[in-house]
Chains A and B, each alone.
Chain A
Amino acid sequence: MGGFRFATDHRGIATITWDVPGRAMNVMDFEQLEELEGLVDRVLADETISGAIVTSAKSGFSGGMNLEILAGWRSGLSSNAGDGKSPAAQAFDRTMSLHRLLRKIECGRPGWGDPGGPAKPFAAALTGTALGIGYEIALACHRIFVADRPDARIGLPEIRVGLFPGGGGTTRLTRRLGLMEASRFLFEGRLLAPAPAVEAGLADTLVPPDELDEAARDWVAGTNADTIVKPWDAPGGGRVPGGTPYHPKGFMTFVGASAQVHGRTRGVFPAAKAMLSAIYEGALVPFDTALRIEARWFVSALLHPSSTAMINTLFLSKRALEKGVARPAGVESREVNRLAVLGAGVMGAGIGYVAAAAGIRVVLLDRDMGTAKQGRQTIATLFEGQVKRGRITPEERDRSLENVVFTDRYEDLAESELVIEAVFEDPAVKSRVIADAAAELNPETVIATNTSTLPIASLASAAGDERRFLGMHFFSPVHKMKLLEIIRGPKTGPKAIGRALDLARQIGKTPIVVNDARFFYANRCIIPYINEGVRMVAEGVSPALIENAAKRSGMPLGPLQLVDETSIDLGVSIARVSRAAMGENYPPDAAIADDVLEKLASLGRLGRKSRGGFYAYDSRGRRKGLWAGLGEQWPLASVQPDVLTVQHRLMLIQALEAVKALEDGVLTDVREGDVGAVLGWGFAPSSGGPFSWLDRIGPAEIVSRCDRLRELAGARFDAPESLRKMARSGNSFYGHLLDSSPVTA
Chain B
Amino acid sequence: MSEVDAFVYDAVRTPRGRGKPDGSLHEVPSVRLSAGVLNAIKARNSLRSHDVEDVIWGNVTQVGEQGACLARSAVLLSDFDDGVPGVSINRFCASGLEAVNMAANQIRGGAGRAYVAGGVESMSRVPMGSDGGAIAVDPSLAMKAYFVPQGISSDIIATRHGFSRTDCDGYAVESQRRAAKAEHDGRFARSRIPVEDQNGLLILDRDEQIRADTNMQALGALEPSFKVLGESLPGFDAVALLRYPDLETISHVHHAGNSSAITDGAAAVLVGNSEFGGETGLRPRVRILATAKVGSDPTIMLTGPIPATEKALQSAGMNISDIGLFEVNEAFASVVLLFLSEFGASPDRVNVNGGAIAMGHPIGATGAMILGTLIDEMERRDIETGLATLCIGSGMGCATIIERV
Contacts and interface: CB of A to CB of B under 8 A. Distances in A.
A586 B147 CA distance: 47
Nearest to B152: A259
B249 A264 contact: no
Contacts of B235: 259-260, 263-264
A262 B239 contact: yes
Nearest to B129: A251
Interface string B23-44: 0000000000000000000000
Contacts of B246: 542, 544-545, 548, 640, 643
Interface string B137-167: 1111011001110000000000000000000
Interface string B221-249: 00000000000011111110110011111
Contacts of A238: none
Contact of B143 (A246, A248, A258, A643): A258
Contacts of A257: 139, 234
**Residue from B129, B137, B138 whose CB has the most chain A CB atoms within 10 Å:** B137
Contacts of B147: 258-259
Contacts of A280: 137-139
A245 B248 contact: no
B242 A263 contact: yes
B126 to A, nearest CB: 13
B136 interface: yes
Given A245-B137, A273-B139, A280-B138, A262 B146 contact: yes
A588 interface: no
A280 B234 CA distance: 17
Nearest to A280: B139
Contacts of A544: 245-248
A69 interface: no
B281 interface: no
B234 A256 contact: yes
Contacts of A640: 246
B139 A258 contact: yes
Contacts of B236: 259, 263
A403 interface: no
A245 B142 contact: no
B132 interface: yes
B278 to A, nearest CB: 50
A313 to B, nearest CB: 24
Contacts of B137: 245-246, 251, 254-255, 258, 280
A267 B143 contact: yes
Given A246-B132, A262-B239, A542-B246, A277 B234 contact: no
Nearest to B248: A544
B238 A264 contact: yes
Contacts of A625: 248-249
Contacts of B129: 251
A277 B140 contact: yes
Interface in A607-644: 625-626, 640, 643
Contacts of A251: 129, 132, 137
Pick from A256, A260, A262, A625 the residue with the most CB of B within 10 Å: A262
Nearest to B141: A258
Contacts of A256: 233-234
Interface in A536-573: 542-545, 547-549, 552
Given A260-B234, A263-B235, A543 B248 contact: yes
Contacts of A263: 234-239, 242
Interface string A280-312: 110000000000000000000000000000000
A561 to B, nearest CB: 12
A261 interface: yes
Contacts of B238: 259, 262-264, 266
A543 B245 CA distance: 10
Contacts of B242: 262-263, 266-267, 548, 552
A547 B246 CA distance: 9
Contacts of A246: 132, 137
Given A254-B137, A552-B242, A259 B248 contact: no
A277 B237 CA distance: 21
Nearest to B244: A548
B132 A261 contact: no
Contacts of B136: 255, 258
Contacts of B233: 256
Interface in A264-280: 264, 266-267, 273, 276-277, 279-280
Nearest to A279: B139
A514 B262 CA distance: 65
A640 B160 CA distance: 14
Nearest to B142: A258
A549 B242 CA distance: 9
B245 A643 contact: yes
A262 B148 CA distance: 11
Interface in B231-287: 233-239, 241-242, 245-249
Interface in B310-337: none
A505 to B, nearest CB: 38
Interface string A388-422: 00000000000000000000000000000000000
Nearest to B233: A256
A246 B148 CA distance: 18
Nearest to A547: B248
A245 B132 CA distance: 8
A261 B147 CA distance: 12
A264 B235 CA distance: 9
B139 A276 contact: yes
Nearest to B148: A259
A350 B344 CA distance: 62
A548 B148 contact: no
A373 B142 CA distance: 55
Given A245-B137, A260-B234, A263-B239, A552 B245 contact: yes
B251 to A, nearest CB: 11
Interface in B97-113: none
A264 B237 CA distance: 11
Contacts of A279: 139
A472 B307 CA distance: 60
Contacts of B248: 543-544, 547-548, 625-626
Nearest 6 pairs of A and B residues by beta carbon = A263-B238, A256-B234, A548-B245, A544-B248, A258-B142, A276-B139
29 contacts: A245-B132, A245-B138, A246-B132, A246-B137, A251-B137, A255-B137, A256-B234, A258-B138, A258-B142, A259-B147, A259-B236, A262-B239, A263-B236, A263-B237, A264-B238, A273-B140, A277-B139, A277-B140, A279-B139, A280-B137, A280-B139, A281-B138, A544-B246, A545-B245, A548-B245, A548-B247, A552-B242, A626-B248, A643-B245
Interface of A: 245-246, 248, 251, 254-264, 266-267, 273, 276-277, 279-281, 542-545, 547-549, 552, 625-626, 640, 643
Given A256-B233, A545-B246, 6 more contacts: A246-B132, A259-B238, A262-B242, A263-B237, A267-B143, A549-B245
Interface of B: 129-130, 132, 136-140, 142-143, 146-148, 233-239, 241-242, 245-249
